[in-house]
Amino acid sequence: MNSWWHHRDFFNDVQEALAHYSEASSKESDVEFCEFAFKGLNVMWSAHQRSFGQSPDGNRPSDSKSIQNLMLAIADSCQRWLLGQASICRLAELEPKILNHDILRNSLEYRPGRELPVALIKKASDEHGQLTNAFMRWNENSTDDARTAALKKLAQLLYVVRSNIAHGEKTEYGPDLSKAKRDRLVCSFAHPVVEDVFEALFEQPGERLAIYGTLAPGGANREILERISGRWTDGTVEGKIETGFGLPLFIWQRGADKIPVKVLWSSELPKRWTDLDRFEGEQYRRVLVPIEEQKEIMVANIYSRRSRNYL
């Protein structure tokens, strides 16, 4: 693995981004999930632009440009994996198309509760149309240029979704109640896309599990993972371990002690998560955490004691 964020200098950024993502995953609504997950992506695109994104004139790029740069910094194989996910296809083909609420609010023709003019709808849905066209070209001809264009347009539309959520329903003309309904629909499609973006950005952590307790080689429950083929490496994770029901309970805690873990790397894990989650039980929650391994960072799943807040 050779992505930019593997360097130890980005450890705190990865920690913060994953804390937001863990908080997002605890939310019941798609809108709340997207709200917190975008905060995590914001941390990562800010970290990337801080080190790699300065323009020649020294000006800071916009957030919209920074999220595009972040998507293009994903490892090549993971970029291709991401664009092959059904979630991206469903988002690209979503009808009616996602409207950029910034454009609506800046138009004299926009009033909450009134039907939008066709020309305004076309203008406000332009970013979504660009993704649809770019994704179609990628599927027809999977060249590097087509891949770059599709990733840029995906990032551009995700930024629109993020901005729309941030705006809320409040306008100078009164509440736009129909926007709340649109946001819920859009976020139901964006939710799995954002999950796949995190999976691609952190190089498919769904294929890695960090073990600190009885599932480890030599542990009392080692036979559960002995059925899964893969390789093991050593690392550390910040947190603490308590004991409950005679079993170790890991608590992810940023800045805490470094706890040794064994990391299982296996392409079989994505098909085993349901069974493993059931085996661990309701007192544990599977979350993504940064693992230090030979002075570099990687990201893996770990079973942590359930907590309401990771931030």
Give 103-144 pLDDT, tens digit per residue. Answer: 999 999 999 888 999 999 999 999 999 999 999 999 999 999
Classify each residue of 246-285 as buried b or exposed e, where b means 16 or more C-beta atoms within 10 Å of its C-beta: eeebbebebeeeebebbbbebeebeebeeebeeebeeebb
Same domain flag for 65 and 164: yes
Q: What is the average per-residue pLDDT within 209-217? A: 91
128 lies in some domain: yes
For residue 267, the domain's CATH number is 3.10.490.10
Q: How confident is the model at residue 55 (pLDDT cuts 50, 70, 90)?
A: low
Q: What pLDDT does residue 2 have?
A: 64
Q: What pLDDT does 57 receive?
A: 63
Whether residue 309 has pLDDT greater than 60: no
Same structural domain, 139 and 287: no
Q: Residue 101: inside a domain, yes or no?
A: yes
Supply the pLDDT for residue 37: 98
In a domain, residue 311? The reply is: no
Tell whether 265 is covered by a domain.
yes
* Domain termination site, one of 146, 180, 203: 203
CB proximity list for 309: less than 8 A, separation 6 or greater: 23
Q: Which of 155, 188, 203 is the last residue of a domain?
A: 203
Based on the fold, state whether residues 152 and 244 are members of the same structural domain.
no
pLDDT digits (tens, 9 = 90+) for 219-234: 888 999 998 999 999 9
Do 283 and 147 lie in one domain? The reply is no
Is 10 in the same domain as 113?
Answer: yes
Retrieve residue 296's tokens: 């570099």
Q: Are residues 21 and 158 in the same domain?
A: yes
pLDDT at residue 302, rounded to an integer: 97
Residue owning tokens 């970290």: 47
79 and 107, same structural domain?
A: yes
- Please check whether residues 189 and 270 belong to one and the same domain: no
Say whether pLDDT at 308 is over 60: no
Contact 18, 198 (CB under 8 A): no
pLDDT at position 59 over 80 = no
138 and 221 assigned to the same domain: no
Q: Residue 50 sits in which domain range?
A: 4-203
Same domain? 157 vs 238: no
288: number of Cβ within 10 Å? 25
**112-121, 147-156, 163-172, 199-208: the lowest-pLDDT one:** 163-172
Given this model, what pLDDT does residue 60 score?
Answer: 79
Q: Is residue 107 part of a domain?
A: yes
Are residues 136 and 162 both part of a single domain? yes
Question: Among residues 203, 228, 244, which one ends one of the domains?
Answer: 203
Q: Please indicate, yes or no, whether residues 156 and 298 belong to a single structural domain of this protein.
A: no
Residue 310 resides in a domain: no
How far is the C-alpha of 190 from the C-alpha of 58, rounded, in Å?
33
Mean pLDDT of 136-161: 97
pLDDT digits (tens, 9 = 90+) for 236-268: 999 999 987 778 889 999 889 999 999 999 999
CB neighbours of 300 closer than 8 A, spacing ≥ 6? 205, 208, 209, 210, 235, 263, 288, 289, 291
Could you tell me if residue 188 is inside a domain? Answer: yes
pLDDT band of residue 61 (cuts 50, 70, 90) is confident
- Cα separation of 4 and 100, whole Å? 31
CA distance 285 to 26: 9
Number of structural domains, the chain? 2
